Structure 1
Amino acid sequence: MRKAWHSIREYEVLRAMILSGTTISAARQLGISQSAVSRALASLEARLQTTLFVRNGGRLTPTAEAVRLNDNLDTLFQALDGIEGKDRGAPEQLVLRIGAPPTMAHRFLHSRVIAFMRAQPQYRILFEICDSDTLLLRIAEERLDIGVSDLLSRHAGVRITPFRRSHMVCAIAEDSPLRDVEVITPEHFHDLPIITPIKRHSLRGNIDRMFARAGVSPKIAAEAATIVSILELVKANLGAAFINPFPIALSAPEGILFRPINQEMEYRTSFLTPIGAAMSAGTRSFMRYVRSGVKADQWSEPIP
């Protein structure tokens, strides 16, 4: 019987493809040609007699078999690093690189980072605050170990683990003409102004689609890049805003009221981790601290 053989280069291509999602990016990462990446991938699939990637919107998305194989390769590459004298795992075990968008970082995650640091003083924390698109890219490129966000987009190199569910609400000022309305509808805004996220914000698309379905063209009084900035304008009664209440509702801003809306707009706040890297003990421990540190509120609920 012919013995099975293994190709380190093919496995390197697999990991690079899971991280980048395109043969061009994988080739650039490995310093080889695009055709060499394609050949290595085809050879690996033929040898394993399984499909490892499927095309999805111009990108190659890894199958469950590819993800499982990649997870099993962690031990192999750690052993190779040890042989080469790199032993990269040892020093990095005491560093945890965390990322989050501004609102998530300032209104929720800072307290969880502080709790984790006090309980796990052996870890040095690198805490990066960036927009959701940048966060997604940094996670996929393994420049961050874990992120926390409610972003709606996905990346082939990012594992998404939801832990909190919430629904869109309308934020109004205490002296808003809508203060006595129990449930807000898009039709309330034929004549009233709204404050929206800027167009590249992940929340903006949901808001635009909601009004389009209702046949309403609201008056947009202002656009802002962060939810905190939006709520400052709402507080000044310059308009209402449609937002994800988590984590803002955990410490509701003074002068702001939240009202449910007649739309089923669900948001899932999630942990983001690189698919191409094994989840470290520090990452898993931080996830537990985040889950356990969420206070109860009427606008969100845990996802087991």
Structure 2
Amino acid sequence: MRFTLRQMQVFVEIARSENVSRAAEALALSQSAASAALAELESQFDQQLFDRAGKRLRLNEQGSLLLAHAVELLDRAEEIDALLRGERGLGNLRVGATLTIGNYLLPLIVSNFLQAHPESRVRLQVHNTATIAAMLLRHEIDLGLVEGQVVDAALEVEPWVEDELVVFCAPGHALAKGGQVGLDAIAHQPWILRERGSGTRETFDQALRHWPGGIVPRLELEHTEAVKRAVESGLGLGCLSRLALRDAFRRGSLVPVDTPQLDLRRYFYFVWHRGKYHSRVIRRFLEDCRAFTGGARRSDQIPLPPVP
């Protein structure tokens, strides 16, 4: 072969960062060494892999075709290296999750995983669905667990467990008295919602797509707990996963609002790059996730320790 693993490492890191200096820093190389590795790779095969715009390098069509194969090659090489060193562990994992999953499910799943495999390391990043999808496309994470729809030919999506959003309010709100509530009663209420780009907001907007004029939120927040606190203070109605609200409903600090006209059902999903090699650590982590939610029809039925 006329290429080296070091050249592939440099190529992948530049593709992720779109900058030679940042790639060199990530690989503990000098900038000149990283530049030379890329230049030699392109020269050997007479192929330009990036479009240059000043210091920014963006993958061209040929580079995009190569990237998934290069990442897979490096993943397999890392497993071979571990075996040659006599290591019997699964390896390390980079996971991205959306807020409901990342705050309420993954801490327990990751804790159980690391107790069973203490030699492994898990790097967990929590963002909204749009950000997780973008990170997968750049190969910055190995696996995504998201609440929103992901539609991209480069990404593979697998349903995990059903989830449902619920409209809720403070105990002193006029709609807290119980009984079914129609769209006309809630549409003109002040709303506290998640930001656009989140799976929760996407499901809410989709459920109200036929309502004339839509909903104009009073406040948009990037964190589930912030939405809950704002609604508790009486600022308006909210809409979040039942999983995130289970303990607040149990305590009575928040109250569900019955809205039968709204279809707020959705799924949690596993997402990965279609060209991603499923190493042993990825396969085992997926098995643990499925086992953790096994037997639960919906996310709020998963047995979890209550939060005081």
Measured against the shorter chain, the TM-score band is 0.5 to 0.7
For residue 158 of structure 1, what is the aligned residue in structure 2? 155
**Is the 2:147–2:269 Cα contact (8 Å) retained in structure 1?**
yes
In the TM superposition, residue 89 of structure 1 has moved relative to its aligned partner by 7.0
SS in 2 for 1:142: coil
Q: Does 1:229 align with 2:226?
A: yes
Distance 2:286 2:128 in 1: 20
What's the CA shift string for 1:225-284, capped at 9, x where partnerless? 122211111111211112233x31454464112234222232110112221122122222
Q: Does 1:178 align with 2:175?
A: yes
For residue 287 of structure 2, what is the aligned residue in structure 1? 288
Map 1:253-272 to 2 at 5 A: 254=251, 255-261=253-259, 262-272=261-271
For residue 242 of structure 1, what is the aligned residue in structure 2? 239
Instruction: Using structure 2 for the length normalisation, give the TM-score.
Output: 0.64
SS in 2 for 1:207: helix
Relative to structure 1, the CA distance from residue 88 to residue 296 in structure 2 (aligned partners, 3 Å threshold; closer, same or farther) is: same
For residue 117 of structure 1, what is the aligned residue in structure 2? 114
Find 1:107's aligned residue among 97, 101, 104.
Answer: 104
Map 1:23-42 to 2 at 5 A: 27-28=49-50
For residue 131 of structure 1, what is the aligned residue in structure 2? 128
Relative to structure 1, the CA distance from residue 32 to residue 132 in structure 2 (aligned partners, 3 Å threshold; closer, same or farther) is: closer
Distance 1:33 1:298 in 2: 41
Distance 2:76 2:195 in 1: 47
**Is the 1:174–1:257 Cα contact (8 Å) retained in structure 2?**
yes
**Is the 1:168–1:244 Cα contact (8 Å) retained in structure 2?**
yes
Aligned-residue identity in percent: 15
What's the CA shift string for 1:149-179, capped at 9, x where partnerless? 1022323332211111123311211222112
**Is the 2:163–2:266 Cα contact (8 Å) retained in structure 1?**
yes
Distance 1:79 1:97 in 2: 12
Gaps of 5+ in 2: 17-47, 52-56, 303-308
Distance 1:120 1:94 in 2: 9
SS in 2 for 1:213: coil
For residue 220 of structure 1, what is the aligned residue in structure 2? 217
Distance 2:203 2:62 in 1: 41
Distance 1:35 1:98 in 2: 27
Relative to structure 1, the CA distance from residue 252 to residue 272 in structure 2 (aligned partners, 3 Å threshold; closer, same or farther) is: farther
Distance 2:227 2:139 in 1: 32
In the TM superposition, residue 110 of structure 1 has moved relative to its aligned partner by 0.6
Query: For structure 1, which segment, 287-296 or 136-145, has the greater mean C-alpha deviation from structure 2 after superposition?
Result: 287-296
Letter in 2 for 1:274: H
For residue 274 of structure 2, what is the aligned residue in structure 1? 275
- RMSD after superposition: 4.0
Relative to structure 1, the CA distance from residue 293 to residue 257 in structure 2 (aligned partners, 3 Å threshold; closer, same or farther) is: farther
**Is the 2:161–2:298 Cα contact (8 Å) retained in structure 1?**
no
